[in-house]
């Protein structure tokens, strides 16, 4: 391949020849071809960094390296303040060398396209609320790969700003702060496009993964656990896909806000417990799909507020406090072919009317019959209990949940509905759960 300087020189020569009026000259064309063929190819080089080598610091080899070169870093501890990568290089750690921020500095800042970072332990980046210090920060770049690294005790783990077509793969990120105010996010993206976040393990951060103004990106096969606020938090991030992720024991599982065209499928939301905890919180979402997910033992599996045209189908809701909490300002949503099993409340709402559709769901609380043996109940099912309406208006009343008085209220409301929404019902409830 030609060096970057050689290519720039060729472009300059061509530009000057065209300005001189030689566009139609055959001799000039031949000269250009000969000129290209005569430029020597500069092969990519490899550099070795370590205490017993010529290059003892990564910063020193960055000065000598050119675009396309590979930098191999031997095992050891490297304290080099902030490494700034301005060349398209591959930096690969051998035996997980340690890059330390000494609890003061940002560790690495990437400002060039086509950079690969692999095989390092990044630890102890400094806390800075103005510059959002990170272990690795990518600024206005494309086609970069951050893979197979370990991040320990950093403010922000991986921070991407105005980046495109980058991949964050197979990393492990762990932080140990106990307060949201002193903790950054594990993987943080702002104003990015075409990103792939895959097979990472994140725990102990403020948000495990954070998206803001991100388009056409994928989050797949990640494990986000025990983060202080959300396992995944994304806002204003349209046309993104989230699949095969696990969100476990976070402050809340996932928050999705002010977004459209979201595709969330085959994820697992479990053990997200707390007074204000959700498996999945949806606010001002439209034209999206939520399907084939597992919602297990969350305080609230899915919370809908201001959501329109969201299709929720083929999900499994089991042993949650509330499976679906549906606010009055959510309309034209469809809930179909889901399993609702042993939830304290299958559906709760703050409205006496419903503009949403429930159909063909399985409800473990359904006591109806199927005389024509078509697999569906012959009488509709009303999933909203009177007591859930009371809880929406007076949360401390939850202490009466298992009392005989509440059971009598629910039975009476089921026979003569007065407060629960008459139009919120499943006309054809499934008799057996979907596999």
Q: Is 28 exposed, middle or buried (0-12, 13-18, 19+ CB in 10 A)?
A: middle
Length of the chain: 435
Beta carbons within 8 Å of 265's beta carbon, 6+ residues apart: 242, 243, 289, 290, 291, 292, 293
Closest C-alpha to 299, from 379, 398, 215, 387: 398
Judged by phi (left if over 0) then psi (alpha if -120 to 50, else beta), residue 299 lies in alpha
Return d(Cα 10, Cα 16) in angstroms, integer.
Answer: 10
Helix axes 386-393, 404-415, angle to 10 degrees: 120
User: If we measure between CA atoms, which residue out of 233, 222, 224, 228 comes closest to residue 256?
Assistant: 233
Instruction: Give pLDDT tens digits along the chain (435 positions).
Output: 445 545 544 555 545 544 455 454 445 444 444 444 455 555 778 999 988 888 989 999 999 999 999 999 999 999 998 999 999 999 999 999 999 999 999 999 999 999 999 999 999 998 988 889 999 999 999 999 999 999 999 999 999 999 999 999 999 999 998 888 889 999 999 999 999 999 999 999 999 999 999 999 999 999 999 999 999 999 999 999 999 999 999 988 899 999 999 999 999 999 998 877 899 999 999 999 999 999 999 999 999 999 999 999 999 999 999 999 999 899 999 999 999 999 988 998 887 778 899 999 999 989 889 898 999 999 999 888 765 555 666 666 665 566 665 566 666 656 555 555 667 889 999 999 997
Q: Which residues pair with 243 in a beta bridge?
A: 220, 265
What are φ and ψ of residue 27, in 5° steps?
Answer: -65, -35
Q: Report pLDDT for 26.
A: 43
> pTM for the complete prediction?
0.84
For residues 142 and 163, is the Cβ–Cβ distance under 8 A? yes
Fold adopted by 46-319+334-340+357-364: Pectate Lyase C-like (2.160.20)
Picking from 75, 78, 73, the residue whose alpha carbon sits closest to that of residue 46 is 73
Question: Using alpha carbons only, what angle is made at residue 292 by residues 287 and 298, rounded to the nearest 5 degrees?
Answer: 95
CA–CA distance, 281 with 210 (Å, rounded to integer): 14
Structure tokens at 149: 């690294």
Helix or strand (DSSP H, E) at 11: helix 4-19
Type and span of the H or E element at 393: helix 386-393
Report pLDDT for 353: 79
3-class DSSP state of 220: strand
Q: How buried is 336 (Cβ within 10 angstroms: 0-12 exposed, 13-18 middle, 19+ buried)?
A: middle
Query: Cβ(263)–Cβ(238) under 8 Å?
Result: no
Neighbours of 192 (CB within 10 A): 24
């Amino acid at each position: 391949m030609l060096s970057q300087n050689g290519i720039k020189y060729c472009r300059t020569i061509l530009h000057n020849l065209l300005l001189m009026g030689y566009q139609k000259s055959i001799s000039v064309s031949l000269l250009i071809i000969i000129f290209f063929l005569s430029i020597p190819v500069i092969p990519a080089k490899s550099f070795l960094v370590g205490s017993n080598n010529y290059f003892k610091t990564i910063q020193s080899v960055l000065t000598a390296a050119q675009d396309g070169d590979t930098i191999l870093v031997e095992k050891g501890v490297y304290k080099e303040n902030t490494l700034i990568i301005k060349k398209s290089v591959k930096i690969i750690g051998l035996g997980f060398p340690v890059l330390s921020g000494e609890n003061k500095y940002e560790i690495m800042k990437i400002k060039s396209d086509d950079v690969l970072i692999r095989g390092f332990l990044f630890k102890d980046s400094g806390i800075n609320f103005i510059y959002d210090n990170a272990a690795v920060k990518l600024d206005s770049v494309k086609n970069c790969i951050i893979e197979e690294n370990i991040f320990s005790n950093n403010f922000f783990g991986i921070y991407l700003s105005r980046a495109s077509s980058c991949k964050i793969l197979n990393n492990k990120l762990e932080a140990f702060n106990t307060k949201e105010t002193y903790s950054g996010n594990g993987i943080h993206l702002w104003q990015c496009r075409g990103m792939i976040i895959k097979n990472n393990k994140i725990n102990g951060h403020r948000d495990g993964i954070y998206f803001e103004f991100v388009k056409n990106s994928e989050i797949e096969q990640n494990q986000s656990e025990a983060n202080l606020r959300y396992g995944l938090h994304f806002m204003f991030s349209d046309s993104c896909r989230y699949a095969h992720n696990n969100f476990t024991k976070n402050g809340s599982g996932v928050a999705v806000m002010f977004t459209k065209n979201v595709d969330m499928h085959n994820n697992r939301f479990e053990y997200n417990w707390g007074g204000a905890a959700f498996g999945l919180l949806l606010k001002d979402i439209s034209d999206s799909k939520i399907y084939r997910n597992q919602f297990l033992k969350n305080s609230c599996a899915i919370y809908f507020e201001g959501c329109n045209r969201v299709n929720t189908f083929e999900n499994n809701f089991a042993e949650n406090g509330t499976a679906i909490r549906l606010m009055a300002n959510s309309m034209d949503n469809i809930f179909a072919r889901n399993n609702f099993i042993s939830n304290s409340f299958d559906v709760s709402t703050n409205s006496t009317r419903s503009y949403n559709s429930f159909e063909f769901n399985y409800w473990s609380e359904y006591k109806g019959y199927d005389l024509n043996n078509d697999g569906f109940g012959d009488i509709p099912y009303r999933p909203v209990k009177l007591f859930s309406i009371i809880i929406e208006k007076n949360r401390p009343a939850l202490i009466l949940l298992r009392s005989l008085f509440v059971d009598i209220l629910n039975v009476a409301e089921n026979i003569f509905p007065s407060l629960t929404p008459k139009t919120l019902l499943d006309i054809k409830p499934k008799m057996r759960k979907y596999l």
